[in-house]
Amino acid sequence: MKKVLVVAAHPDDEILGCGGTIARHIEDGYEVHVAIMAEGVTSRDVTRDTEMRGSDLAFLSDCANHAHKILGSTSLVLHNFPDNRMDSVDLLDIIKVIEGLINQIKPEIVYTHCDCDLNIDHRITHQAVATACRPAPGRSIKKLISFEVPSSTEWQSPVTSNNFIPNYFIDISRTINQKLLSLEAYRSEMRDWPHPRSYKAVENLARYRGSTVGFEAAESFMLIRELIFYPDKKDKRAFKGLHLIPAGIENADMILEWRNDIESRRASTIPDIISREDHIEWLEKSLQMENRKIFIAVEEDTPVGVVRADFLDGEHELSWTVSPDFRDRGLGKKIVSLLVTSLSLPVSAKVNKNNKASIKIAEYAGMKKKSKNGDMNLYRRDVHTRESDPKDFGE
């Protein structure tokens, strides 16, 4: 699962900067961890007094927790660096806190402020995050992205080196309402229109950013760095302890997630998204059927795929799905072969003629193309090609 870390200076900056994107990442099944560096509020007084502002700080912390409940964020941590006085702290102390978070969470994507904001805490947070995210061997971070914060980014003096130039846009047309709703949790920080930190201005900015790239609404960012790796070749053909176990109803959500993956649907005879309700009903029925067996392929302790055999007219018709996280490793071949060697009768599979991966899997398991029906080709392995003793399902 992909992990995202958002580091913002003050409570509400993270929503102003990337609230719609947080909601979208959650919708896509990512983990989103949020860290807020400064306490907020205390800069409103001439001298910092956290005791006097104790109830305000507690209230702001409740607001933050509420806002992230609305978005569904995985975790929220509030640090207490001095509000709008982060320049009174050694930069290294701030970097150490962020490094600790990165070591603990191991995010692939990190969002933070841009270094062009007027606000001093924003610039310091950017500096600290950029330092903590420096790309050394073995680091988890693949993408470092900076966001804009209305009422800071656009308020910086007009010097050419300090401009926010968006080059990375995320469509938030489906999550903009969640962004606005989570800002309501921070209503003490919001202002009346035409302040840039008003609901209307925040929505206008998202609409404007969207319109520049053809989306209904967008959050725009500056991509600082993206690293493109080769897939890890070390475990490419390891298949450590790969084995099949009979599927149970407890595997329902996992199988559904694999089945509804876009690549799986492209390869399927029925490419539609299957609802959870229909899937559970199908699985419950399937588990009762005498002539249907479903197995989960497990590598070490990790489920990596599912394979099914339907016994009909004297042969086993097979179908399979490899978990989207474990594709391109040749696992499908091993999983299907494992099942085929435990079956005593002819086996067959319907394979989409454009699905090269599945054609290879069928051929590896000893099946040959017999006939075609539209986009689907029928592959079969006849019983006399088997060399080992006939066995049943190998349960």
Least distance (Å) between residue 151 CB and Zn ion: 8
Q: Which secondary-structure segment (H or E) carries 305? A: strand 302-312
Please say whether the beta carbons of 264 and 254 come within 8 A. no
Task: Give the Cα separation of 312 and 306 in Å (integer).
Answer: 20
Least distance (Å) between residue 104 CB and Zn ion: 24
Task: Give the Cα separation of 101 and 125 in Å (integer).
Answer: 14
Residue nearer to Zn ion on the CB measure, 17 or 20: 17
Q: Interface with Zn ion by CB under 5 A: which residues?
A: 9-10, 13
Least distance (Å) between residue 261 CB and Zn ion: 39
Enter the tokens of residue 276: 């959870």
Residue nearer to Zn ion on the CB measure, 153 or 264: 153
Residue nearer to Zn ion on the CB measure, 186 or 320: 186
Least distance (Å) between residue 9 CB and Zn ion: 5
Residue nearer to Zn ion on the CB measure, 197 or 293: 197
Enter the tokens of residue 246: 């009979």
Segments in the chain forming alpha helices (H): 13-27, 54-71, 91-105, 120-132, 176-185, 199-211, 252-260, 262-267, 276-288, 331-340, 356-364
**Residue closest to Zn ion when measured from CB atoms:** 10
299-317 exposure pattern, b = at least 16 Cβ within 10 A, e = fewer: beeebbbbbbbbbeeebbb
Q: Give the pairing type, strands 31-38 and 302-312.
A: unpaired
Q: How many CB atoms lie within 10 A of CB 228?
A: 6
Residue nearer to Zn ion on the CB measure, 118 or 274: 118
Residue nearer to Zn ion on the CB measure, 89 or 252: 89
Least distance (Å) between residue 101 CB and Zn ion: 18
Task: Give the Cα separation of 70 and 88 in Å (integer).
Answer: 34
Least distance (Å) between residue 158 CB and Zn ion: 20
Question: Which of 91, 61, 55 is CA-nearest to residue 78?
Answer: 61
Task: Give the Cα separation of 276 and 71 in Å (integer).
Answer: 23
Least distance (Å) between residue 152 CB and Zn ion: 6
Task: Give the Cα separation of 259 and 157 in Å (integer).
Answer: 52
Exposed / middle / buried, residue 149 (Cβ in 10 Å: 0-12, 13-18, 19+): buried
Q: Which secondary-structure segment (H or E) carries 381? A: strand 376-381
Least distance (Å) between residue 363 CB and Zn ion: 59
Residue nearer to Zn ion on the CB measure, 76 or 244: 76
Question: Which of 101, 111, 55, 108 is CA-nearest to residue 75?
Answer: 101
Least distance (Å) between residue 198 CB and Zn ion: 16
Residue nearer to Zn ion on the CB measure, 9 or 71: 9
Residue nearer to Zn ion on the CB measure, 13 or 148: 13
Residue nearer to Zn ion on the CB measure, 9 or 185: 9
Question: Which of 106, 109, 107, 123 is CA-nearest to residue 8?
Answer: 123
Least distance (Å) between residue 146 CB and Zn ion: 13
